[in-house]
Amino acid sequence: KLCTWVGEMYLELHNATYTTQGEIKKYNRVGEFLLRDAETAAALACVFGQADYPSDELLRIWKLFLLNQFHDVLPGTSIEPCVYTLVYCRLMIWRKNITKMFTSLPRLSSRPRLRPC
């Protein structure tokens, strides 16, 4: 006799998702790190008076990035194969945008002046 589950299934120890789309999942993880690093670099540049904080640009990039985390994309359970081509293209565009933002940030000078952002 099989068990029956009633109600919401909360998997307390569920830490990962298997996928059939390893490359997309890999770029997603790299993207999480790059966005964190971009926000840190932008905040430091702002605090040290080297640049304004690019909040609008970061928000735009985050929205594009999070769109690719739709619940069927990372585990690879989307019905249409073309979804993965679209997501891969979006991830490449996203990577280009974040690289452009990184290169536009100035290098911190050796004697930075602190300022509130």
Which pLDDT tens digit goes with each residue over 51-97?
889 899 888 888 878 877 776 777 777 777 777 787 778 778 877 87
Look at residue 94 in the predicted model and tell me its pLDDT.
77
Q: Is the pLDDT of residue 41 over 80?
A: yes
Distance CA 83, CA 50 (A): 40
- CB atoms < 10 A from the CB of 54, how many? 18
| The pLDDT value given to residue 116 | 60
- Contact status, residue 21 vs residue 81, Cβ threshold 8 Å: no
3-class SS at 67? Answer: helix
Whole-prediction pTM: 0.64
